[in-house]
Chain A
């Protein structure tokens, strides 16, 4: 009998920690989102659903912008990551791990520092732009910082490994004999790729999309450091509402809205891709 309980004892401490500090907080957040009040008077539960309406009314621009930036980041990283993952998986040979190591290497530096370095590199009169302007190749008023390109660029930079690795893992797992078979059956290089490699790599792409789209859309650090007034993302607003304005109900409402939007996005994407096929094929 004791043996049967073994798994439950094992998962109890960690599982309990997760329930208390991961699941319950989500509920606490919805709870706070329906309150009204201020720092001086305290906040009381008033089932203020209008907070949600207000937040969507005031900040739908930033919400859409965040989803668009997230989508752009995801598409661009797939475009950048796939060829690289492909080459390492199929042509990397003995040095596969070294390449992966080199790709991961920059990420041993704190991501805030990496982003600040980009702020430095892209400065209006810095190393890159300053020289280009001095040589007359760019107008004096040209700037990369405080544009969407800087923010999405920063997001792509920071999330590239999250796309490379899953795609690489999926590609690496592909049974080479399948490709041999394709060639034996007179498939062209392109057909072998589109009919064998690509479909089998989709689970990796799917994992990469989830690991990239969600955090990129919810990010605010890149927007804060590299962006300007027109690049404010929903995460920035949530940060401001909680930490500067102490407007906890509105902040919680907005955070819940963001979470719901992202969950919806993933759900739609998963359905479109046919999760069962994707996930079953990659089990274990």
Chain B
């Protein structure tokens, strides 16, 4: 339902359009800088003066062992966290979308509080807990922390997807004699899948990118954002630009792939319905 025929503002519409593009350009500026200076043929300690093109940093991507380890840590942590929080979060999202139960509102408040709370409070709270219990901070405390906030994002995404979900399908399956588990596996899960995948992608991105909660709970272990933050005080090597570029490209590819997959599966559903 377009407003164009009702909107006398058509002539002025271009101003807002231009504005939007200006903002998009401004948003993209640091990214372009990052990508560009991954190709800088810098000789000094610092990467701030353009000195010509080179692919050296792409070749020597893993020349800094600590940085490579930090990137590895970030990726492996994100994978573990995504899997665990996708399972636990989907369970919560599904339950909240389907059932009405005592304590539902309380759980809801907890989820909301988690999203609204500042990361620093969650990070320092966890640190206080680990200090009190004498638990040393490192890889696994970071995994624990990331799962904590990622469960929430998966749960909320899945629950929102549930609102578009037709419960009569499950009832039909039950009437046809399917057990609850089979129903869940063959009827519910496929329909929920886009929500679960979306939540999982979000969880992965949030985990890889997380800085504040991680800084307080990583001890001596370094993740990619932590390493980059440390390097910002002494000079960020071009390898960071290259890694940032690659992670960026990977993320873009993932989202595009996800979108295409969704479009195709919806087309397939439409075809089947016809």
A residues adjacent to B (C-beta < 8 A): 6-8, 10-11, 13-15, 17-19, 21-26, 28-29, 31-32, 80, 83-84, 86-88, 90-91, 93, 97, 99, 101-103, 105-106, 108-114, 116-121, 123, 126, 157, 160, 176-177, 179-180, 183, 189, 210-211, 214-215, 217-221, 224-225, 235, 238-239, 242-243, 248, 251-252, 255, 258-259, 262, 266, 284
Q: Are A22 and B114 interface neighbours, CB within 8 A?
A: yes
Known: A22-B110, A32-B128, A109-B244. A259 touches B118 (CB 8 A): yes
Q: Which one, B95, B120, B208, B241, contacts A7 given CB within 8 A?
A: B95
12 pairs, A vs B, C-beta closer than 8 Å: A11-B91, A15-B107, A17-B148, A18-B151, A25-B128, A84-B20, A87-B19, A102-B28, A110-B228, A121-B29, A177-B1, A183-B6
Q: Are A218 and B34 interface neighbours, CB within 8 A?
A: no
Known: A86-B16, A90-B3, A121-B29. A221 touches B48 (CB 8 A): no
The distance in angstroms between the C-alpha atoms of A248 and B128, with both chains bound, is: 8
CB distance from B162 to the nearest CB of A (A): 10
The distance in angstroms between the C-alpha atoms of A194 and B43, with both chains bound, is: 57
User: What is the predominant secondary structure among interface residues of chain B facing chain A?
Assistant: helix
Interface bin, chain B: 35 or more
Q: Are A8 and B114 interface neighbours, CB within 8 A?
A: no
B215-230 CB contacts (< 8 Å) to partner A = 215-216, 224-225, 228-229
B residues adjacent to A (C-beta < 8 A): 1-3, 6-9, 13, 16-17, 19-20, 23-24, 26-31, 33-34, 37, 48, 88-89, 91-92, 94-96, 98-99, 101, 104, 107, 110-111, 113-122, 124-129, 131-132, 144-145, 147-149, 151-152, 155, 163, 180, 205, 208-209, 211-212, 215-216, 224-225, 228-229, 232, 236, 240-241, 244, 247-248, 251-252, 255, 259
Give the residues in chain B near A219, CB-CB below 8 Å. 212
Known: A17-B151, A26-B121, A109-B247. A119 touches B33 (CB 8 A): no
Q: Are A114 and B16 interface neighbours, CB within 8 A?
A: no
The distance in angstroms between the C-alpha atoms of A109 and B96, with both chains bound, is: 33
Q: Are A22 and B148 interface neighbours, CB within 8 A?
A: yes
Q: Are B129 and A24 interface neighbours, CB within 8 A?
A: yes
Given A105-B252, A218-B118, 15 other A-B residues pairs in contact with their CB atoms under 8 A: A10-B94, A21-B129, A26-B125, A28-B125, A29-B129, A87-B19, A109-B34, A109-B248, A114-B34, A117-B33, A120-B48, A211-B115, A238-B124, A252-B128, A259-B121
